[in-house]
Structure 1
């Protein structure tokens, strides 16, 4: 059987390697403490679940959800954004429902890239950003995001030959995996760069609310007229609705329309009952977000303090649900090797930095998705393992 050449770029996946390592650990009798995946263990709010439960018994929600049936959801999104950021949004032309942010970032390259066109992606960055580019026949050009630059890419370092073939740039702040924040001034620089070179600016924004001090800026605070940008929002992190697979895009109407056209030949929209739950999340009490952020702040503080007590100095993350930790100097192997041996030896599963790109080598990402006693126990096992090498 012949497989398309585009599949070749999708063969390497360190997370599949980690999945096999976890399976081996389970087979040997280890109890797994899985801190490798950013899937929140916190519950969705009761009023969200109540609205979804009510919708299940409404037969009007049981059919296909075409674009016009999402009007109430889109209007709710537009009101939420204006209340949150003070900028108007047209729910008819500037909002699109998504089945998770990953759907948007994977499908948008099909609308923007012809074979051979370039997408500018962060390194390290979220792995699915590259997958959509490969499926569209585009070329990935990595923008290194180094610690000495605050994990922000240096746009002036992009070679002119690459810049002139670029059709899209993908940013994501607060940043997964490094937890870095980007100031509004950086977005202003990125918007000016992309406007100057006719590049679509894509901002993946799932951690918009999971910030421990201050506020994460929206890209439209820099691109106020929505000239060149599109921004993706998720209910997975702010509202603990990861398994419900509901998200939305806001942005330039040409980009929204193009993504809508791609989406129309691939899928319909999310089940309307889940969309109704999402409306309840946006319009109901926001105490759930505050509780979620407080829980991850407390976990962050306890886990980082535990690592420090055991002699592993890592920075305090300003945002997200992760800790981005540089491996100790005593470890001479790869980040994947560290993580596979760690889970097989101790049962603690982390994400290897190399899974997020070349610049992630030498780091591990820890998802704070267990309670504080479990995280403190994991910190002890991780540091004991590191010292034993």
Structure 2
């Protein structure tokens, strides 16, 4: 059987390798402490569960959910965004429900790219961003983001020959995996850059609320730099802020032409979520102030515990300003061996982390810790890591 050439770039996946390494370690009797996946271990809010439970008995929610039957959800999203950022959103033309942000980043290239066109992606960056480009027959031009540049791309480094064939750029701040926050001034630069070249600007925004300290209540939105929605679209998920990862509920908002194109692709691939899930998401939005601040505080406590424990074993990682991760430069002699480090660590100790190379070439030399366990478990993980490093 012969498969399409578009599958070829998707053959390798270090996270699949890590999954095999975790299974091997578990089969050998190791207790797995999995810090490799950014899947929140906190419970879904009770108000969301109650709304979904009530909907289950409502027969009006049991049919297909086409676009026009999502109006109530789109209106709630638009009102919430305007409350948060002060930018009006038209729920009819500027909002689209999604089955997770990954649906948006996977389907947008199908709407924007012809075979051979370029997409500008962050390196390191979230792996699924590249997957959608390859499935659309496009080419990826990685934009390296380095510590000395605040983990922000340098647009002047993009070759003119690439720019001539570029149709889209994907940004994502607060950034997974580096934890960097992009200032509004950078977003204004990115919007101007894309406006001048007719490039669609996609901002993947799952960690909007995951900013620590008192300097920001929430991270900047790309639409604050493009309030007229000339070129930008933003994707938000309920998976992180509201611990609803398994419910696969998200949305896109922004430029109405991009929303319309994404809607066209979506219409021939899937319908929408069960309306009861949308009711649960609305209940979460309405209770934002009682849900999100305690959630962020929990992850900040975990962040502080893991940073402190790593410092105590002389692994001096920076304290991340945002997200639910720690991006750690590997100690000697493991620098430039992130996959070998991660697989060896889980096989020897049961502690699983994500190798930086899995996020792109510029991620080599780092590993990512996900703050998805309580402080005492994180401290146990660090004690096992210390034994591994000394050995």
- Report Cα offsets for 1:23-66 as digits up to 9, x if no partner: 10011111101000000000111111100111111111111000
Structure 2 match to 1:25? 25
Structure 2 match to 1:383? 386
Matching residue within 225, 232, 236 for 2:228: 225
Structure 1 match to 2:101? 101
The CA deviation at 1:332 is: 5.3
**Which secondary structure state, in structure 1, belongs to the residue aligned with residue 110 of structure 2?**
helix
- Report Cα offsets for 1:310-350 as digits up to 9, x if no partner: 11000000000000001002325610110101001000000
Q: TM-score, normalised by structure 1?
A: 0.99
Structure 1 match to 2:156? 156
Structure 2 match to 1:175? 175
**Which secondary structure state, in structure 1, belongs to the residue aligned with residue 252 of structure 2?**
strand
Structure 2 match to 1:216? 219
Q: Is the 8 A contact 2:65 2:272 kept in 1?
A: yes
Distance 1:211 1:332, change over 3 A: closer
The correspondence of residues 7-46 of structure 1 with structure 2, limited to 5 A, is 7-46=7-46
The CA deviation at 1:303 is: 0.4
The correspondence of residues 95-174 of structure 1 with structure 2, limited to 5 A, is 95-174=95-174
How far apart in 2 are the matches of 1:355 and 1:78?
35
The correspondence of residues 282-293 of structure 1 with structure 2, limited to 5 A, is 282-293=285-296
The CA deviation at 1:285 is: 4.6
How far apart in 1 are the matches of 2:151 and 2:12?
24
How far apart in 1 are the matches of 2:196 and 2:389?
48
Distance 1:332 1:295, change over 3 A: closer
How far apart in 2 are the matches of 1:217 and 1:249?
16
How far apart in 2 are the matches of 1:292 and 1:322?
14
Unaligned runs of at least 5 residues, structure 2:
none
Structure 1 match to 2:207? 207
Q: Is the 8 A contact 2:121 2:129 kept in 1?
A: yes
The correspondence of residues 1-389 of structure 1 with structure 2, limited to 5 A, is 1-213=1-213, 214=216, 215-331=218-334, 334-388=337-391
How far apart in 2 are the matches of 1:226 and 1:239?
26
Q: Is the 8 A contact 1:312 1:383 kept in 2?
A: no
Q: Is the 8 A contact 2:335 2:366 kept in 1?
A: no
How far apart in 2 are the matches of 1:256 and 1:356?
27
How many residue pairs get aligned? The number is 388
